[in-house]
Amino acid sequence: MSQELEMRMIELETRQAFQDDSLQALNDVIVEQSRVIERLQLQVAELIKRYEEMAGQQGGGEEEAPPPHY
């Protein structure tokens, strides 16, 4: 194998190794973001549930009387 061809092969192998590392790092970030999104969705669902419970306890559906200045 010529020295030029060998240098090109080494360069390509180096690039591939770097790209493999980059892809793994990006995948790790995506997995962590998916976990964060899932936790946030659960928290939002819980907040909606609490809000609906509180709204129901305050006579939900009944309109409040207008303020005295009307």
Tens-digit pLDDT string for the chain (70 aa): 799 999 999 999 999 999 999 999 999 999 999 999 999 999 999 999 999 999 988 865 556 677 788 6
Q: Is the pTM of this model over 0.75?
A: no
Q: Is 62 among the domain residues?
A: no
Q: Is 5 among the domain residues?
A: no
Q: Is 10 among the domain residues?
A: no
Domain count, the chain: 1
| Full residue range of the structural domain in which residue 44 is found | 27-51
Q: Is 66 among the domain residues?
A: no
Q: Is 56 among the domain residues?
A: no
φ, ψ (nearest 5 deg) of residue 3: -65, -35
Q: Is 45 among the domain residues?
A: yes
DSSP secondary structure string, 10-65?
A: HHHHHHHHHHHHHHHHHHHHHHHHHHHHHHHHHHHHHHHHHHHHHHHHTTTTPPPP
